[in-house]
Amino acid sequence: MLNEFKEFIAKGNVMDMAVGIILGAAFTAIVTSLVDDMINPLIGLVIGGIDFGGLSVLVGEAAFNYGNFINAVIKFLIIAWVVFLLVKGVNSMKDAAIKKKEAAPAAPAGPSQEELLTEILATLKSRSV
């Protein structure tokens, strides 16, 4: 079982996933700062100085912090947009590579195996005469 676990961990997919998760966590910190420190203040200026982080509704003793939810939605939209741009960029690079490969002239086709054998047979017949 230990060997199977080592094989599982050593596979490229697991390592790629780990790298993706680590980079995703770092990217989340960047997006959080972007939303909290740059976008929300700009939105607040446009709509009259409202800070989303502090928005909440009290129902009895429970506080519903819908401002934090708005921040989370903004962060999600930013992350989704960046992922969309990344996927679009990678797809366009793949498409360009495929088009380049298709546009490359095909190697000239040589004689088929039957043609070669017919030629060899004709050569042998002419030599034996």
Q: Which CATH superfamily is domain 2-128 in?
A: Large-conductance mechanosensitive channel, MscL; domain 1 (1.10.1200.120)
Place of tokens 């009259």: 48
Global pTM reads: 0.52
Domain residue spans of the chain: 2-128
Please check whether residue 35 is in contact with residue 71, taking contact to mean a CB–CB distance below 8 angstroms.
yes
CA atoms in the 13 A half-sphere facing the CB of 103: 6
Query: Does 123 have pLDDT greater than 80?
Result: yes
Q: Which pLDDT belongs to residue 37?
A: 84
Q: What whole-number distance in Å separates Cα of residue 98 and Cα of residue 111?
A: 28
Question: Taking residues 33-62, what's their average pLDDT?
Answer: 80
Query: Does 88 have pLDDT greater than 70?
Result: yes
Q: What whole-number distance in Å separates Cα of residue 47 and Cα of residue 61?
A: 29
